[in-house]
Structure 1
């Protein structure tokens, strides 16, 4: 049964979120991968099309293991080049955060990072998945705003204003002009616009993020994404159980 909430209502998605951790290692390569698998809850008010959940689960899985396999291939190549005394240990990690989960919309971020040696960060990537659970489509920024809002100008003005308030944190003379497919994720507080490492600020500063709070921009926001109702305990994200589906190789 599909259910479309009325404006300003807030219903949490009745999804069971399975936590998976996959750990493996060999002499010079170690990985610890955490990622979610989404399932419907039986007899709930809303059932997501199983194809949509399967596509989402497969996409997340592919992102995690494509990243891991790419770093592993790099380690194998370096292994052939370097002598035994100069071989480099590689470590790969993933973790995630489900940042928005209501009104048939889910938003999560997936952190993928890898280390060369003890402390040298080789990769630090942040992926986002903003999915309309009614259609299975990936949401764009335009979908978060009311029809007719010049959201590009609104966001650019907000980000550039914040940059001017703290210019030392960013590259000199920076003016941001975001594309229509700008990276973002949703939280209960608002829209988080983020940029890749070294895109608008030095690498040492990490990924630059800007929060547009729903409460400050409510007249521009599609009400589907902004409400103040407290979550129902029945449908809140469940605490993570013990890791499942371990796989090891040596």
Structure 2
């Protein structure tokens, strides 16, 4: 059974179709990349999966349960968290306070252990636990955003453009951390414009164009695909 099954999703903003007919799956323990240019429908797709937007057509199932139209706070409780584009940490709150907010669906007695797990995976955050999030670098804020998403103990974490605006050396560190998260048994749906980095770590990927899936395959297959190389990698 797929961890996540999405079929025929469609969504329009004020009559303008952003997603036309998107179907995809994420198997347990996989990293799946969702790729495409700006405006291809990637963020709209993951917002529907996360319950932020209600699909106008199509169906979402997770762990065998129907998820179509389930509000976002219930989606989190069922095991899916979204780390949105732009990091969106709470800048006037400390690292510790941001992490504690990420555990809002957990019992109070569980929070301390979850924080320590986050600090083990992200030791730089442990060093900055009392620092205001807004005073940290972009890479550190991205680490905090991912760590906050993990505080709900998701089975699937959705990362929307985690490398956006980061320097190449920081981007490499973020992708290394994504692999480390996945090795803990957490499935990852990764939205990225950095196709080379995303497909290097992804088990499989889907390429969106104008709101529809135009290609699907393993990471290696998509990296070797002439269309992908010409359209996205400049080869």
Give the structure with the larger helix fraction: 2
Normalising to structure 2: TM-score of the pair?
0.28
Larger Rg: 1
- Highest RCO, 1 vs 2 (Cα 8 Å, sep ≥ 6): 2
